[in-house]
Each structure stands twice: as C-alpha cells, then as structure tokens.
Chain A
Amino acid sequence: MKAADPPVSVPRAPEGTRPQPATNGNRPPRKAGALLPYLLIAPAFIAIAAVFVWPFIKTVVMSFQDVGRRELWTGDAAPWVGFDQFTNILGDGEFWHVVLRTVVFMAVCVVATMAVGLGLSMLMQRMSTWVRLLLTAALVAAWSMPLLVATSIFRWFADSDYGVLNMVLTKYLGIDAQGHNWFLDPKQGFVVIGAVVVWGAVPFVSVTLYAALTQVPKELEEAASLDGAGTFGVFRFVTWPVIKPVFQMVATLSVLWDFNVFGQIFLMRGNKPEPEYSVLGIYSFEKAFESNSFSQGAAISLITVLLLSGVAVYYLRQLLKIGEVE
C-alpha cells in the first residue's frame, strides 16, 4: 500500500496503479513501513534459501569434488577433482542411453497426455451434462490418487500371474497372455509405467483445457461455421488461438514433470529398478545411494537441471507474458 510507503524513491512496478487511498494525508510516512515487507518475507526467504538454494549450490560444489561414503560418515573434506565427474559421466555410453531413454519416454508421455487431455476436454464440451459430471468425478478421483497408490494399482494390473490385464487379454481379446511378464521387456514395461504417468496427468490437463475452452466465444464458432468453416477449420482458426497460451503452459509443465518421472518407475520395479529402467532421476539416485558416489549423482542431477533450464525459462517467460507475476 502506498500510504505506508516512505518518501524514498522506491521504484514501483508500473502496473501498481492502485487508487490512491484516502488515508494518504492521515498517515505520515514511517521508516518501519519500508522494512515491514522485508521482515514479512524474510522467514520464507531464508527457509527457501536454506532448503532449495543452498542444496543447489551444494550440488554444484559437490559435482567438482569426490564425495563418497567415507567423506559422508567421517566429515572429512572431499578431494577436489575438477571436471572429472563430468568427463566420466559424459564419456560413459550408459549415460547417453539413459538420456535418450529419458527423452523418448518424456516425449511419448507428453504427446499422449496432451492428445488425450485435449481430446477429453473437447469431448466434455460436447457431451451431455450427466456424462460430463460422471467423467469429471472419475477425473477428480484419478487426480487425487497418491502416486504411490496409483503405481501400486497399475503394478497389480500388470501382475504376471493374477493381473487383470493378462486376464482381459486372454479371456476377452483372445491373446494368450497368461503368465506374461510385462517387465521382462523394458519396452513393454515402459508402456505400463507410461500408462500410470498419463493416467495421473490427464485429469489436470483436461480440466485445465476445458476451463480454457469455455473462454472461447460461442458466437465466433457459430459465425465461423456459418461462413463455411469445417470442424477442423473452426478449431484451427477460432478455438486454438484462444486456448493456445494455456495449452503451451500445460505442455511445458508436462515436459518438466515427465522428464523428472521417478516414483512411478522406482516403485513399479520394487525400489530397485533394473539398469534398463534407468531414466536420469533414477540413474542419479542409484549412483548416489546405491554406489555411494554422491558426487556422481550430484553431477548427473546438475546436468539434468541444465537440460531442463531452457524449458523452465520458457515456462517462466510465458507466465510473465500473461501477467501472472505482476
């Protein structure tokens, strides 16, 4: 509020044009007013710095050292190794397999999530109210399932002996899948894992896109179809421009989430994923906590952050553009 602002030249955000409060004359500027906001954000700021920023700096430092089990338990200073961790990691063929696997898995999950989400949201616009209420209830239920529970359910689906997936395939679709182990072939295993990821992400995407679709002016769609635009034409030229910012935002978030998929794989493989199931998060975790090479794990994390920073910056720019951070 401006009334309490001191007369010092604090640059104000240009959009901060609140109506001048009537109390302006009554309250002489006080020194305390200048400090108050800083005092208010200080606890949160310090906490965030301690739990996010400091560990992040630590990640950077550690990836130039060699922190192993001994340094962890004795507290001895870890030796500096320069870029050794990075050259080791980048020179390891396994690492590049993991990167490729992560990117492909992310891309497939994002495309599937966005396609299903967009499809469902457009369907929700067109279906009868009672169907939409049913579907919304199912979406909310799926949305609220804890990741651990959702993963357990899908693991139980895909159980080789008693899983419902094999049962349905055998009994209703005539494919003999009895006793089929879905996780023997990582490609099939990733299909099951991707199914949990997509199932868990679709509710957020479709509900958000549905909210965006309700912003599309009905009159414009009417006018376009009267003017002879087909279904696709209406979508392409009327609907899409309106929902595009939201779509991009949700897609960006999906990229960030699906790139960092960890729990679904970790839990699906009984807390000990096989090397064929390593994505970057798992790879870094195993290096740190299984091989006790914390520096290697930290360096892999740092590479992950760098790989994602472009996407994150893009996301932030979008937020700034639509004026969320005003």
Chain B
Amino acid sequence: MSTSAPRVLRPDRKKSRIGYNIAGLVAFVLMAFPVYWLIVSSLRPNAEIRSYDQTLWPTSITFDNFSRAVKQPNFATAIESSLIVCGVAVLGGMLLATIAAFAIGRFRFRGRKFFMIVLLVVQLLPPTAMLIPIYIQLNDLGGLNEYWGVIVIYLVSTLPFATWMIRGFVINIPQELEESAMVDGCSRMGAFWRVTFPLLAPGLAAASIFSLITAWNEYLLAYVVLQDNDKYTLNVWLMNFTTSRGIDYGALMAASTLIAIPVVAFFLLVQKYMATGLTSGAVKG
C-alpha cells in the first residue's frame, strides 16, 4: 500500500481523514461487538446474565460458566470425537490432495482441465442437497453412527479446496529444481519428495489448517449421522445447551469460546492466504 504518494500530492487529504477514521471506528465497533459480547458473557456471573439491566462492559469476572460448560456430560468424549474425526480426515485429505495437486500442477495431460473443472463444480453443490443421498448411502454401508462415515465425508469435502490451493503453491515452485534433481539421478517421484515437497511445506500447512477449520466447524452431517451421545463431536455437543427448559447462555457462551479459540488461533496463522485462496475458485463452506 503506497499511502505516502497521494499524501504528498494532495496535502489536504490528511484533514479529511478524520471523517473516514470515525466511520472506520464505527465499523470496527459493529464488527467486533459480537466477539466482545461472546467473551464478556462467558466471563459474567449468571446473576448478571439473567438480569434485565446488563451493562455493556464487564463489572465482575468469574469462570463459573466455563466450569459449568466443561462439566456438561460428554465434554471429554466430544473433544476426543472431534480430534479423531478431524485429524484423520485432514491427514487423509492432505495426502490425496497433494498428489492430485502435483499432477495438475506439473503435468499436462488429457482430462486435466476436466478434472480441474470438476474440482470447482463440486464445491458449488449445496451441502444440504448432498446430505440426503449421503445419509442413505452411509445407512446402506453401515456407516451411520460410526466415525468412519463422518471421516470419509469430511475428507472428501475438504479435498477439492485443498487440491486447488496446493496446486497454487505447486505451480509457484520452479520446476527446474526438480529437473536438476532428476539430472542428478533422482526419479520423478524422488525429485518430488526430496525437492518439491519440502518447499511445499508452507502451502501444505495452510491447506491443512483450512481443511481442519472446515471439518472442525461442520455440524450438520455429524448431527445427522452420529447418534450416540458419546460419539458427538464438539459442535453437536454444543447443541445440547439448547434444551426445552431454556438456554444456559452463560455456559453456552463459555463453551462457544472454547470451541472458537482453536479456530481463531489457526485462522490467524493462515489468513494472508485466505483472500487469494477464496477468489481463485475455492469456496468457503
């Protein structure tokens, strides 16, 4: 951003910035308020949560909500389920995505463009439209209420996005590097694993975090497929806070904070790839 150039050309700009800054601060408050309110509510005593006269800023802090949240039944098994499901799905997805991305990034072959268009088209299919046949298919295969059913679907759901993204990194690695390794006696795959793969590491990290976030945030398939309380993933577990007797908002906000923290942390690591990754054909779920 070269903000300095116009400032030199138009010194009067500086004055008019005040208006823009005020508008910017208003936008900041509006965008940040929900996050602020999530954190404030999660730290607020229940007496203040159930009060008609809530203050907009924190007056007292308590961790009661967090302890109530983690004492909800099945919190530990929900973490376990989420880790198993997301972990296996991401690892498997990255393996398939990397080799496929290498193929479309490095080779020119008949059907390559077709495959790339398939990658884009499947991301445009509405997820809820796929839910019914997938549910029936899993039922036929005995995958209902099983981790593997959810894992397979998560793995493949993140695959098109991950492949597309890794391909972007592959084509930016000069292929002369591989060629010189091959001149030095590496096989084609050897050159890939020894030369390209290490250079691809940042791209793989970014793509796996995106896949992880997608899988971590998914709730509908897990809600439909997993039926035992102790198999619920964290998101399905979070739905337990909404009971017919009402909602314990304090605990819900605390639990939401716990679920969001890893996502926000990971997101900060990869957000610089976000805009480019998304506009180049990858679709947020």
Chain A interface (Cβ within 8 Å of chain B)?
1-5, 10-13, 16, 18, 21-23, 26-27, 33-34, 36-38, 40-41, 43-45, 47-48, 50-56, 58-59, 62, 67, 72, 75, 120, 123-124, 126-129, 131-132, 134-135, 137-150, 152-157, 159, 161-162, 164, 167-168, 171, 178, 199, 202-204, 207-208, 211, 214, 218, 222, 246, 249-250, 253, 256-257, 259-260, 262-263, 266-267, 270-271, 281, 284-285, 288-289, 294, 297-298, 301-302, 304-305, 308, 312, 315-316, 319, 324-325
Contact = CB atoms under 8 A, between A and B. Distances in A.
Contact of B34 (A59, A142, A146, A161): A142
Q: Which of B21, B38, B109, B223 has the most CB of A within 10 A?
A: B109
Contacts of A123: 20, 23-24, 27
B179 A21 contact: yes
Contacts of A22: 179, 183
A49 B2 CA distance: 47
Contacts of B35: 138, 141-142, 145, 153
Contacts of B188: 4, 33, 36
A168 B30 CA distance: 14
A324 B113 CA distance: 11
8 contacts: A23-B182, A44-B100, A127-B20, A135-B27, A144-B264, A284-B132, A288-B132, A312-B121
The dominant DSSP class at the A interface is helix
Contacts of A257: 283-284
A1 B105 CA distance: 9
Given A21-B176, A37-B109, A75 B140 contact: yes
A63 B134 CA distance: 14
Nearest to A59: B133
B194 interface: no
A68 to B, nearest CB: 11
B199 interface: no
Contact of B249 (A156, A199, A253, A271): A156
A131 B252 contact: no
Given A47-B96, A301-B130, A302-B129, 16 more contacts: A18-B175, A38-B103, A55-B133, A127-B23, A128-B21, A131-B21, A135-B31, A146-B259, A146-B260, A203-B31, A214-B1, A246-B279, A267-B239, A288-B135, A305-B129, A325-B120
A312 B124 contact: yes
A1 B178 CA distance: 10
B78 interface: no
Contacts of A67: 136
B228 to A, nearest CB: 18
A202 B31 contact: yes
A208 B126 contact: no
Contact of B235 (A43, A148, A157, A222): A148
A21 B256 CA distance: 54
B24 A37 contact: no
Contact of B117 (A62, A154, A171, A325): A325
B108 A138 contact: no
A62 B17 contact: no
Contacts of A249: 279
A41 B103 contact: yes
A250 B129 CA distance: 22
Contacts of B252: 152, 156
A144 B267 contact: yes
Interface in B230-285: 235, 238-239, 242, 247, 249, 252-253, 256-257, 259-260, 263-264, 267-268, 271, 274-276, 278-281, 283-284
Contacts of B76: none
